Amino acid sequence: MHLDVIQSLSIAGDSSKANDDRAGAGHAHAWVIDGATDLGEPGLLGNRGGAAWIAAEADRAFAAAPEDGSIEQTCRIVFEQVAARFAEQRTREPESWEIPSASFLAVAVADNVVDCAWLGDCAALLIRDGEATRIGPQRDIRDDETDLARSVSHHGLGSVKRSAPVLDVLRQARSRPGRQVLGIDPAGAEQIYYSSQPCVAGDELLLMTDGFVAVTDLYRLIDQAALPGLLVDGGLSGIATRLRAVEADDAECMRWPRFKQGDDATAIWLRVAA
């Protein structure tokens, strides 16, 4: 079996800044990556921020991974390569809050099975005969971040330049031990979640970073069951247009507490083929 790409889309939350998302596909595997937003100025890895750096390095590692390995083997390779590149390129010892990290979700298809691996809040749907089934993490995984944003909303949310109290809260959260993310420690691969589902030729897969899946999970603008029909009617760009419109209407981030008006939003839509 293999994967055919139908569409992919990746739009920055702020066009003046780097897009910290990545998406890609090989013969039989595909992935989305969401670099955790930088909480300070570049310098640890030269002129590039840590979020864009880790997204690019992980994307490169997924693309280069052998096609005949299991998804577990692929993920271990990605973690090892990211760790090795960080050791080579870092300019100094990092503060705990600036260590690059990312959420990711990857899939691989073989023998009428789709294997899924993830850490963090990226999401995926398996679509068959117009019906969508969630694979990977479930939709409530963003609740902790929403609660955190709500707790500091009186300091102002959505601004390009965060206030000191908001930045302090974010740095504390980023520094907490036990975060399950794609990072610079190869041992982190032992924390990856896995699942497997039957699939058949003609099934479709939709992989999304949290900035894209917010249209269903955070804003509840679109019901998950409606996504397959919307994909057919307007593709990924049609959904993205609705996403950005609702974010613009809540520029102060008060109706939906969040730390920036618009997040990087990335999705890749694929079809399983024999």
pLDDT in tens, 256-268: 888 788 899 999 9
In a domain, 246, yes or no: no
Question: How much is the average pLDDT of 2-6?
Answer: 97
Structure tokens at 146: 């929403």
In a domain, 151, yes or no: no
Could you give the C-alpha distances from 23 to 56, 63, 85, 151, 267, in angstroms and in order?
10, 10, 20, 32, 7
Strands ordered across the beta sheet of 2-11: 2-11, 265-273, 204-208, 123-128, 131-135
In a domain, 166, yes or no: no
**What is the per-residue pLDDT across 26-51, written as a single tens digit (0 to 9) for each?**
999 999 999 999 999 999 999 999 99
- Residues 245, 242: Cα–Cα separation, whole Å: 5
Q: Which residues pair with 193 in a beta bridge?
A: 118
Strands ordered across the beta sheet of 193-198: 21-25, 29-35, 102-110, 113-119, 193-198
In a domain, 155, yes or no: no
At 127, which CATH number? 3.60.40.10
Q: Containing domain of residue 197, as a range?
A: 2-142+180-238+262-273
Predicted confidence band at 143 (pLDDT cuts at 50, 70, 90)? low
* Confidence (pTM): 0.92
pLDDT of residue 166: 82
In a domain, 104, yes or no: yes
In a domain, 162, yes or no: no
117: number of CA atoms within 13 Å, CB side? 25
pLDDT of residue 159: 66
Whether the Cβ atoms of residue 120 and residue 103 lie closer than 8 Å to each other: yes
pLDDT of residue 137: 87
Bridge-based pairing of strands 131-135 and 123-128 is: antiparallel
**What is the per-residue pLDDT across 170-191, written as a single tens digit (0 to 9) for each?**
898 899 888 899 999 999 999 9
pLDDT of residue 108: 97
pLDDT of residue 141: 55
Angle at 13 between CA 91 and CA 134, to 5 degrees: 100
Structure tokens at 162: 């965060």
What integer best gives the mean pLDDT of the chain? 92
pLDDT of residue 16: 85
Decide if pLDDT at 140 tops 70. no
pLDDT of residue 142: 54
- Residues 228, 238: Cα–Cα separation, whole Å: 12
Instruction: Name the packing angle between helices 50-64 and 71-89 (round to 10°).
Output: 140
Question: How much is the average pLDDT of 198-204?
Answer: 97
Ranking 72-86, 146-160, 220-234 by mean pLDDT, the lowest is: 146-160
Decide if pLDDT at 102 tops 70. yes
In a domain, 227, yes or no: yes
Decide if pLDDT at 155 tops 90. no
pLDDT of residue 247: 92
Structurally, the chain folds into a number of domains equal to 1
Question: How much is the average pLDDT of 113-141?
Answer: 91
Q: Regarding predicted confidence, which is higher, 15 or 25?
A: 25
In a domain, 38, yes or no: yes
Decide if pLDDT at 109 tops 80. yes
